[in-house]
Amino acid sequence: MKWIKLLTVCLVLTAGALAGWAAFLPAAHPVLERMGVLAPMRAIGLPIADAENGGGGGGPPFGGGGGDVRVVAQEVGYVDADDRLGAIGTAEARRSVTLRPEVSGRLEEVFVASGDWVEVGQIVAQLDSAAQDLALERAQLAMADAQVRADRVARLRESGTATEVQIQDADLALNQAQLDLRDAEFELGRRQITAPVSGWIGIVSVEAGNQVGTETEIARLDDRSLLRVEFNVPERFVGLIGPGDPLEVSPLSRPMEQVEGQIRAVDARVDQTSRTLRIQGEIDNSDDRLRPGMAFLITVLLPGERYPAVDPLSIQWDRRGSFVWALDEEDTAQRVAIEIVQRRDDAVLLRAELDEGQRVVLEGVQNLRPGASVSVDELIAPAEPGEGDLLTRRTEPEADDPEQAPDI
């Protein structure tokens, strides 16, 4: 008889445990239903919370009676998802020139120092030009003599005493003298090294008295008020990027510093070997903090589709995946399945059947069930995250894995 009493006690305890499980843990209803005990419990009138659609948020407190659930809600806003394309490029000056002599000779004087700013046309250095100065003086004398002869022949022509041959010889001599003078001036000008553009002088590598040739580098001249940087993007972005699009640019040496930039030009064709498209961007360097040759991390923002945006606190998880509690016009709670598209600092973009302006529950979700009536104590404005708030771009619904802990 003892074993019969023991069996009876075990059955009573088991029945009580199952009843408590059904009443306090709605997520266990599918298991109880497969065991065939859920329907009998309901038939005998046990206080079993409704766990329709998986329950998730749990039923109302047991024995708590009726009344609306008090919650804090937020309106759903729609925002554009941002795809970020990252690349690394090296900056070049807006205009860059290597100053070299046009002819060989001895460097007579250098008029600039390393780091100087020079204007276009300014003389940077002077080669020895004694021979060219003499040639110019001779050309000037020959020009003056030819001009005097031409004037004398012109007077004779007016009196009718000059022949046609004399006139032609005088004109020819004058033209030749003019050409010789221009040639002497040209040769003298080639002994001067002038700045073809305005910019900053780099390190001057020569001094007065050095013998230089046409391959000798005097200095490098850079106009770095605007830097240009080239980078490559995969061919799938063809048509999505164009001149004028903004860039987020950060020096690799100072990753926390951001510089304004924009796309200047897009190559006309895709490279067949690498299957990439070459892009040229511009970086504002009006404060002269950056230098050509620096490496930059370049980020291109690509506007994507519009998605509902909610506060991360509104997202819930159960064994069937992630969801939010949405309210209809009658303040009734409904479970809406979601898929996380993009995370931001203050909002999460979702793929879900949510309308703009619809309300989702932020606080009080632990007492909700499908069809429950709620009372909204506070309504928060829609989330309006900025472009810089982007954290991750999900390519698969990681948060929907029941084995993973939510990370919001």
CATH number at residue 377: 2.40.420.20
What does DSSP say about strands 374-380 and 69-75: parallel, antiparallel, or unpaired?
parallel
What is the distance between the alpha carbons of residues 259 and 247, in angstroms, rounded to a whole number? 9
Residue-averaged pLDDT of the chain: 80
Mean pLDDT of 316-325: 90
Q: Tell whether the model's pLDDT for residue 405 goes beyond 70.
A: no
Contact 133, 189 (CB under 8 A): no
Q: Tell whether the model's pLDDT for residue 200 goes beyond 80.
A: yes
What radius of gyration, in Å, describes the C-alpha atoms of the chain?
A: 42
Domain boundary pick from 277, 303, 329: 303
Q: Is 78 exposed, middle or buried (0-12, 13-18, 19+ CB in 10 A)?
A: middle
Number of separate domains in the chain? 4
* pTM exceeds cut of 0.75: no
pLDDT at 361: 92
Are 13 and 106 contained in the same domain?
no
Kind and range of the H or E run holding 5: helix 2-24
C-alpha neighbours within 13 Å on the C-beta side of residue 251: 13
Are 358 and 290 contained in the same domain?
no
pLDDT at 214: 87
Domain boundary pick from 188, 212, 236: 212
Find the domain containing 43 and state its range: 2-48
What are the φ and ψ backbone dihedral angles of 219, each rounded to 5 degrees?
-170, 170
The two tokens of residue 243 are 């001149």
Q: Which single residue is written with the structure tokens 């007492």?
A: 367
Listed residue (281, 277, 283, 249) closest to 264, CA to CA: 281
Residue 407 domain-assigned (yes or no): no
Going along 170-294, which residue ranges are E strands? 192-194, 199-201, 211-212, 219-234, 246-251, 259-266, 276-284
Listed residue (248, 280, 246) closest to 264, CA to CA: 280
Residue 141 domain-assigned (yes or no): yes
Domain boundary pick from 192, 212, 232: 212
Residue 60 domain-assigned (yes or no): no
pLDDT at 179: 93
pLDDT at 44: 64
Are 124 and 193 contained in the same domain?
yes
Are 178 and 239 contained in the same domain?
no
CATH of the domain at 189: 2.40.50.100
Are 296 and 387 contained in the same domain?
no
Q: Tell whether the model's pLDDT for residue 394 goes beyond 90.
A: no
Residue 57 domain-assigned (yes or no): no
Are 197 and 279 contained in the same domain?
no
CATH of the domain at 89: 2.40.30.170
Listed residue (333, 316, 312, 343) closest to 402, CA to CA: 316
